[in-house]
Amino acid sequence: MRGSPLFLCLFSVSCWVNLMPTAGDKIFHFGACRVSMSMTEIRAGFTAIKANIVSISQSLNSFSKSSDRCCITHQLFTFYVDKVFKHCRTEDSFVNRKISSIANSFLSTNELILFLQREKNNCVCGEESTEKFKQILANYEGLNVTSAAMKSLGELDILLDWMERSH
C-alpha cells in the first residue's frame, strides 16, 4: 500500500492536466458537462471547407443583368426540381408534402420561364452565369447525395429572398 499515495497523486495530476485547456482551447459548459475544445482549430477547418464551396448566395448576388437573372433562375429551378427535391425525404409526411408542393411550384414556374424564353428569346445564359452554375453543380455532386440535397434545401431561403428582392 506504500505506492498508493504516490499513484493517487500522479493520477490526480494526470486528470487535472487532461482537464486543463491547451493553447487555443476553451472550456465550454453544456449544463453539467464541461468540455475543452479548440474552437480555433474547428473554425480553421470549417473555413477551409467553406472556402471551397460556392454557395447559392455567393452566386446570386453577382448577377446584375436581367438576362443572367432569367437564366440562373431557370437553371436553379431545374436544379432544385431534378436534383434537390428528389433526394429530400424525411420521416415526417407533413414535411414531405411541403417539399413536394414547393417542387410542383418550381416545376410550373420553370415551365413558364421556358415558354417565355422561347417566345421572347431574351433569356440567354451568359458566360458568367454558366460558370457560376457549373460551380454550384460541381460542389453539389462532390457531396453525398442526401447531404447535398439537405444543404441545398437549407439554402432555399436565400434563393427565395433573392427572388423577392428582384421583384
Which three cell numbers mark 92? 415526417
pLDDT tens-digit series, residues 9-38: 444 444 444 444 445 577 876 667 777 777
Question: Which of the four pLDDT bands, split at 50, 70 and 90, describes residue 162?
Answer: confident
Q: Are strands 33-38 and 25-30 parallel, antiparallel or unpaired?
A: antiparallel
pLDDT for 91: 86
pLDDT tens-digit series, residues 109-136: 988 888 877 777 766 777 877 888 888 8
Indicate the domain borders of the chain: 3-49, 54-166
CATH classification (class only), 54-166: mainly alpha
d(Cα 37, Cα 45) in Å, to the nearest integer?
A: 13
DSSP 123-143: -PPPHHHHHHHHHHHHHHHTS
* Spacing of C-alpha 80 from chain mean position: 14
- The three-point CA angle 95-101-104 to 5° equals 145
pLDDT for 80: 92
Q: What is the value of pTM for the model shown? A: 0.65
pLDDT for 147: 84
d(Cα 93, Cα 99) in Å, to the nearest integer?
A: 10
| DSSP reduced 3-state for 56 | helix
